[in-house]
Amino acid sequence: MKTTDKPVNKWTYKDFTWVLSLFGTAVGAGVLFLPIKAGSGGFWPLVILALIATPMIWLAHKGLARFVLSAKNPNSDITDTVEEHFGKTGANIITFAYLFRNLPNRSDLRCGYH
């Protein structure tokens, strides 16, 4: 790896969108419904489920981050990486599958059903 004396950009638009998407993931994971679940099911079942869910969420995000970082171009995002590994047709199929998998989740969160 070559080192250069160029200054590193500290904050870019891509960094901002990643922060927003990670925050959206956390909110979508149930942060808004946490008090409701604690009130209806009790505190200890919520703690047990949190202990079970935390490694699963961490491993899934770690795997996704490793996949994105596996691209040959260090400036690639997830769509570029999927296209690099699976080709244009595979990338389109995976993108539409991801869209239709997440579409019902977004609708129920907007309507308040959970």
Q: Which two tokens stand for residue 19?
A: 């922060």
Tell me the C-alpha distance between 81 and 67, whole Å: 8
Task: Name the pTM for this structure.
Answer: 0.54
Per residue in 71-95, pLDDT (tens digit) is: 999 888 888 999 999 999 999 998 8
The pLDDT tens digits for 25-56 are 666 656 666 677 677 777 788 788 888 888 98
